[in-house]
A and B are shown apart, each in its own frame.
Chain A
Amino acid sequence: MGERFTIAIVGSGPGGLSAAARAAERGTSHVLLEAEPHLSNTIYRYQKGKYVMDEPAILPLRSPIPFAAGLRETILGAWDDATARLKVNVRHGHEVSAIQRRPDGVFDIRCGNGATFEADAVVLGIGLQGNLRKLGVAGEDLPFVQYQLDDPDAYEGETIVVVGAGDAAIENAIALAKQNNVVIVNRKDEFARAKKGNEQGILKAIEDGLIECYYNAAPERVEALSAGRKPGRMILTTEKGRAQILVDRVIARLGATAPRGFVEACGVTFPSKDPASVPAISAQYESNVPKLYIVGALGGYPLIKQAMNQGYEVVETICGDVVEPADAPLLKAKFASLQGFASLEQALGQIQRSVPVLSHITPLQMREFMLDSDIRTPADGEVIFTRNDYTNSFYSIVEGEARVAIEGQAAPVVLRRGEFFGEMSLISGRRRSATVTAGPNCVLVETPRRSMNRLIASVEAVKREIDRVFIVRAIQSRFAPEASVAQLAEMAEGATLKRYKAGDIVFQEGEVGDCLHLVRVGSLTISRNIGGRDVVLTYVAAGNYVGEMALMGESRRSASARAAIATETIRLDGDAFKRLLNRIPVLKLRLQKEYKDRTAANLAMQALPGGGDIISFLMAQGAGEATDILLIDESLCVRCDNCEKACAETHGGTSRLDREAGPTYADVHVPTSCRHCEHPHCMKDCPPDALRRAPNGEVFIADNCIGCGNCERNCPYGVIHMASKPPKKPGLLQWLLLGRGPGPGEAPYDPAVKKDGQAKKAVKCDMCKDQAGGAACVRACPTGAAIRISPEEFPAYAQSRR
């Protein structure tokens, strides 16, 4: 067998490197195995000159390797120096392909290059970037086949085949086409997976003959040529048979394989199938495989400093020293408002015991949960949140009680110790449906959306419990004033969760209706087939129900319901619903009235020629997931760009809105501007959780943004940009009278500032939440062309346009 070490560390990211450095400092025998020829590939691959940030600022650093906010180059340089100084035993070019724990407890480690090692303990710090997917055909490793592209301008006059149909492939192909002869190979017959802008860009380039595209084609093999002008050729299988392209270069952008498969092969189990779930690890970062530790992003800690601290702590643990985790003081501070706990562990245990939904999670998850959460001790009668607020945090009651005032119900519902609330807005992404006030001796744990979602994704039992309560409460809030909890229990019993993709049919016109649906996430459009054409009648947002018409009047569906975006509904059984109605005549009367109103509204819409077309158009622009969208009436817009100027002027000089870009239908223009989505895609992958939602619904970026650009990539509407802080601008009078600085709405121009490595952060529309008067774009429009509306208003809006 191969060389033997006490600790083998896999991956030299901040987590792995810090572990190895600590081992070296302690003189423990160790090896650091890194696939790449340099350290810390994730950080190595940041953009040149990127300003790396050291969030969370309050967390102290514990590592023999230095780290402070600064330029990528400075940080990597310091790490190289420290690695050399501490004599860290690093082996580059060693991609670990298998880790196996033998019965005697020793790990066998095999590398892709054939090297093998033995170790008593393994620290896995391979991050989340995964391995770039290769072509998977003969010749995939030839020197002219590459899987990354740093600088498209570095190539000129070459014939380049780009393989892939995602955003990266398209962006590369378009950038390369400026100076090269580019062929793009797409497995499918469309580019639907890419963002709208990219899709349009590539289709146009293909149409213009700038880029040649092989649709429904796949690489068969790549070969090096010794004679001729080109170094190689690529053989493709296409619908019409084989094709050969002589190439200078092949660039394959096929995404990365998530590291999960490899980690599972090492014996580590994941708690659920959800791709967002992270392996369960102990408070000492040990996985279910004894002596196999997981640090850094792979374990669910997406920031550099956290990863470095964990690397340090893990080595201390392996060497038998007890360390208090670096975040312990932070956690302790959280409990400062609570008295009578001897230790942190006791306090955490106490909370877990009092709140059943938290009883299923591991101690480390509990720590993490509490680190992100806040303990609140509101006074009796204090309002926790107000109905119609857009906040989305989750509350668990540790002590005392809370009162939930539901619209239309005289007495508030009292929730007691161990129960939770706030799950409705968390799940639906919509406004709070009730006002909650604190009762006597109330102690709450408030958890932000991201941590709660992560917990729901990682722990099946938590998800089940929250879903169960959600269903009961959703039914209650809909039918409760008339029906009692016991009467509703039967319906809740038979309720099931249904999931739909955008465009899926929930039910079809003419079918026999046997159920109704409560929309829980997403939204639906209701349409009817008129003269062979699907005419949209209305839009149904989360929190509303559909399908009751067929259960109350006719037995067939009078219209079709279709998911406008990814949608989840609670399906309620029709028979149980009918029984409930028969038992409670008041409820029946109320629903009948609502039913009449809806029918009348539908008829009004139907009578309008093309009335629903505007709704269809808006849905096609993704407006179905918006909470607030900027629309411009192009028959009023005089193109003065005052809206953009106002935005720039109130937001440090960069406009977050591009008025001109965007589609138009029947004079309704959807500019490129944030729609403040119900479930913002931009929030998905933000390491410091800097994307937040304010009580009025504004999705904004907090100051702790580290400028990683994930949100820019994740937003499908292209409304986030990276920008550095502009210099201060002289006032309007100074500009008018003295000509000082840039004028109103002009971009700040100061070449000196642009050059130095200023921290670039993400900027986006915050709907002017800090402006006293509200959205500046709308208020600055002199002609009334710009308005902001929410999707609930779409039907009325469509009618007003006729």
Chain B
Amino acid sequence: MHASFLTHARSRYLWIALALCVASITAYVWHDPGIAPNGGTWLGYTLGTIGALLIVWLMLFGVRKRSYASTLGSTLGWLSAHVYLGTALILIALLHSGFQFGWNLHTLALVLMLAVIFSGFFGVYAYLRYPTLMTRNRDSATRDAMLEEVAEIDQNALALADGIAPEIHAVVLRSIQNTRLGGGVWTQLRARDGSDLAIAKVRQAIAERATQSGGAGKPLQAGQTLVAMVDFLAGQTDDRQTEALRKLIDMLSRKRALATRVARDIQYQAVMEIWLYVHVPLSFSLLAALLGHIVVVFFYW
């Protein structure tokens, strides 16, 4: 039935990758070139060739992913192989280098490769963790439906506020203008929507109203809850307005809950996508560095 890219085909590619690793280690241990192991020995060349071919093939995943009519395996199989063989590349490249590092192009290529691979690890982590979180957070609604509802609450709140007082109306309007869902990369990842600010403002406005309407009753305390505040107002303003205020706060809280869900939804999606913006450009730099590495080795050694 459903199988993730880690368990696909009974983790066939995990076993292939392991076999590749074991073979490389055996060869490395067994091989005695007489000098310190490095990329210039025949084993070094062999491992280097395997590694370079693997990198090219790993990059080709981006092409395969977009060749929707391709009959060359499934995207799932490709990703499974991508992940396991890509991980095996760490070992192969290290053995190829013979653990000789320096401040040079060769080591730069290695570092870039490791960066690509570790960003890949993060991707795997994100792919395993975030889908479930997202499903729970959505609770069967679609993002569009949630956004629509937010917009609706905004409209209703505005209409309601209009009937209460101009300053409340202004506060609600400002809060609507301040609600920005999505936005830049950073806002997406932070998952905040600014409703908190709005509620605080309404609260403040209510408080101000309370003090204005002649401090007949008890003075308003700073840390009071919204509901308590409305009850407090009930003693001072007419009933209809209190009811409306209660409704308004109810609406704004509902909106806050919803907006938080939307923001979180966007955040999850952003996390699942954002790492690719590291993984892919780095892999292109890696390809360039790899080319440089090969050219240097063959022409200037």
Contact = CB atoms under 8 A, between A and B. Distances in A.
B225 interface: no
B1 A800 contact: yes
Contacts of B69: 649-650, 771-773, 776
Contacts of A664: 135, 138, 140
A635 B79 contact: no
Contacts, number: 99
Given A649-B68, A660-B142, A642 B1 contact: no
A801 B63 CA distance: 33
A663 interface: yes
Interface in A760-802: 771-773, 776, 778-785, 787, 789, 793, 796-797, 800-801
A667 B134 CA distance: 11
Contacts of B66: 732, 744
A639 B269 contact: yes
A743 B77 CA distance: 24
B65 A638 contact: no
Nearest to A664: B140
B169 interface: no
Contacts of A772: 69, 71
A633 B67 contact: no
A638 B127 contact: yes
Contacts of B156: 209
A779 B131 contact: no
B71 A782 contact: no
A738 to B, nearest CB: 16
Interface in B127-164: 127, 130-132, 134-135, 138, 140, 142-144, 152, 156
Interface string A627-661: 00001011111111010011001100000000011
A783 B127 contact: yes
Contacts of A345: none
Given A639-B272, A660-B142, A744-B66, A797 B76 contact: no
A783 B76 contact: yes
Contact of B1 (A638, A669, A776, A787): A787
Given A637-B131, A784-B8, A797 B142 contact: no
Contacts of A633: 2
B74 interface: yes
Contacts of A104: none
A797 to B, nearest CB: 5
A703 interface: no
B140 A667 contact: no
Contacts of B78: 782
Interface in B1-32: 1-5, 7-8
B75 interface: yes
B1 A796 contact: yes
Contacts of A151: none
B131 A638 contact: yes
B265 to A, nearest CB: 9
B190 to A, nearest CB: 19
A660 B138 CA distance: 11
Nearest to B132: A635
A756 B114 CA distance: 54
Contact of A785 (B2, B70, B144, B269): B2
A208 interface: yes
Contact of A783 (B67, B79, B140, B269): B79
Interface string B41-68: 0000000000000000000000101111
Given A635-B132, A784-B4, A642 B74 contact: no
Contacts of A631: 2
A646 B71 CA distance: 13
Contacts of A797: 1
Given A638-B272, A780-B68, A667 B142 contact: no
B122 to A, nearest CB: 13
Contacts of A745: 68
Interface string B244-269: 00000000000000000000000001
A787 B74 CA distance: 12
Contacts of A789: 1
Contacts of B135: 634-635, 664, 667, 669
Contacts of A208: 152
B279 to A, nearest CB: 13
Interface residues of B, number: 37
Nearest to B133: A635
Contacts of A663: 140
A783 B132 contact: no
B43 to A, nearest CB: 34
Nearest to B268: A639
Given A636-B4, A638-B127, A796-B1, A781 B65 contact: no
A737 to B, nearest CB: 12
A639 B1 contact: no
Contacts of B68: 645-646, 649-650, 744-745, 776, 780
A784 B4 CA distance: 5
A783 B5 contact: yes
Contact of A782 (B76, B126, B144, B152): B76
A642 B74 CA distance: 13
A797 B3 CA distance: 12
A661 B142 contact: yes
Contacts of B134: 634, 639
Interface in A3-52: none
A787 B143 CA distance: 23
Contacts of B71: 772-773
Q: Which of B66, B138, B269 has the largest number of chain A CB atoms within 10 A?
A: B66
A47 B3 CA distance: 46
B45 to A, nearest CB: 32
A669 to B, nearest CB: 8
Interface string A193-204: 000000000000
A633 B269 CA distance: 16
A789 B3 CA distance: 14
A630 to B, nearest CB: 12
A636 B70 CA distance: 23
A47 B74 CA distance: 43
A781 B70 contact: no
Contacts of B143: 660
Interface in A191-224: 208-209
A432 to B, nearest CB: 26
Contacts of A640: 272-273
A634 B132 contact: yes
Contacts of A669: 135
B1 A781 contact: no
B25 to A, nearest CB: 30
Contacts of A636: 2, 4, 131
B130 to A, nearest CB: 7
A635 B76 contact: no
A779 B75 contact: yes
A793 B2 CA distance: 13
A357 to B, nearest CB: 44
A637 B76 CA distance: 12
Nearest to A770: B69
A782 B130 CA distance: 15
Nearest to B76: A784
B272 A781 contact: no
A638 B1 CA distance: 18
Nearest to A648: B68
Nearest to B7: A784
Contacts of A778: 74
A638 B270 CA distance: 11
Contacts of B3: 784
Given A634-B131, A642-B75, A783-B79, 12 more contacts: A209-B156, A631-B2, A650-B69, A660-B143, A661-B142, A669-B135, A773-B69, A773-B71, A782-B78, A783-B127, A784-B3, A784-B5
13 contacts: A631-B2, A635-B131, A639-B272, A640-B272, A642-B75, A732-B63, A773-B71, A779-B76, A780-B75, A781-B76, A782-B65, A784-B5, A784-B8
Closest 3 CB pairs of A and B: A773-B71, A646-B68, A634-B135
